[in-house]
Amino acid sequence: MRILVTGGAGFIGSHFIRTALSTAYAGLEGAEIVVLDALTYAGNRANLDPVADSPRLRFVEGDILDVDLVDSLVGEADAVVHFAAESHVDRSITGARDFVMTNVVGTQTLLDAALRRNLGRFVHVSTDEVYGSIDEGSWPETHPLEPNSPYAASKASSDLIARSYARTHHLDVLVTRCSNNYGPYQFPEKVIPLFVTNLIDGGTVPLYGDGLNVRDWLHVDDHCHGIALVLAGGRGGEVYNIGGGTELTNKELTEMLLEKTGADWSRVVPVEDRKGHDRRYSVDISKISAELGYEPRVPFGTGLSDTVAWYRENRAWWEPLKSRAALAR
């Protein structure tokens, strides 16, 4: 089996690849993986260093908007796992065009190639942010899409395009929607690595608004395990939520990170709330649990401690990235 993984040099995609090639997911044993990544500011070849020598890995630097390249690579694949996306909400607020081009047009480019090449299976990796905000309870996969940021709107658009190819063309497309990921190798503009690296360097951290926005936290290993289950055994045309089962306010998360880095609240700087900031996310994972046996396996306390330790021990990985991210703004 040959799998084309888009965005495979990013945080989540690289974890999927490292795990697939080193310990293997059930049903994907021996799979060959071709990575397509444009290596924009958040893409990093070093994320694949642990498996760089694998004879089952091939890396292609390129853009999912490149029709000819995409067509060629999809034509060689049995399945596509589509991670590639612009994903930082704040960046989408100040400049939405790249998000529309990559997330919407890029996804459509891949789907067109999949249709032309009679691809076997296409897994489109999305986000819970497409649902909007929920005061209580949890979203099932059937909940209407009500995105509130340009990023979320671009992902919702790509979800609907993927759904249309499944319905119109009977293409074997599946969509996954995850909650907030954390873990090693996450680009340090995201909240957990940003806070951890700032705090261990003696700096301050920004806390939006009143700090009471709620997120469900999902370790990247659990997320990728869920994606592998969907790839191997999900029903074509379906959507699967993947959650972590740990809901925290941003203030509670900040308290935990302060404790784990030996810092106190004097290092927290309240800042004006983000425009359109969703109050609470919560996904219902009963569907993927019942159909595919998924349950989150990494306890949040353990996962967070391990993540903090990883950033302490890997300054050479993240320090240049923080400088690069600052220059890219």
Is residue 82 within 8 A of residue 6, CB to CB? The reply is yes
Question: In this structure, is the dihedral angle defined by the CA atoms of residues 190, 195, 196 and 200, taken in order, positive or negative?
Answer: positive
**Of the listed 37, 63, 86, 128, which one is catalytic?**
128
User: What is d(CA 9, CA 59) in angstroms, rounded to the nearest whole number?
Assistant: 9
User: What is d(CA 275, CA 283) in angstroms, rounded to the nearest whole number?
Assistant: 23
User: What is d(CA 93, CA 91) in angstroms, rounded to the nearest whole number?
Assistant: 5
- Which residue type sits at 3? I
Q: Which residue has the tokens 């090449």?
A: 117
Query: Which two tokens mark 298?
Result: 């990494």
**Of the listed 131, 151, 182, 185, which one is catalytic?**
151
Is residue 78 within 8 A of residue 120, CB to CB? The reply is yes
Ramachandran angles phi, psi of 24, nearest 5°: 70, 145
**Of the listed 37, 63, 86, 129, which one is catalytic?**
129
Is residue 325 within 8 A of residue 188, CB to CB? The reply is yes
How far are the Cα atoms of 166, 167, 275, 312 from residue 303, in angstroms, in the given order?
36, 39, 30, 14
Q: Terminus-to-terminus CA distance in the chain, angstroms?
A: 40
Q: Is 129 a catalytic residue?
A: yes
Phi/psi-derived region of residue 37, left when phi > 0, alpha when psi is between -120 and 50, beta in every other case? beta
Question: In this structure, is the dihedral angle defined by the CA atoms of residues 41, 47, 53 and 58, taken in order, positive or negative?
Answer: negative
User: What is d(CA 202, CA 193) in angstroms, rounded to the nearest whole number?
Assistant: 14
The residues facing 34 across adjacent strands are 4, 58
Q: Any residues with CB less than 8 A from the CB of 258 and at least 6 apart, and which?
A: 199, 264, 265, 267, 268
Active site residues: 128-129, 151
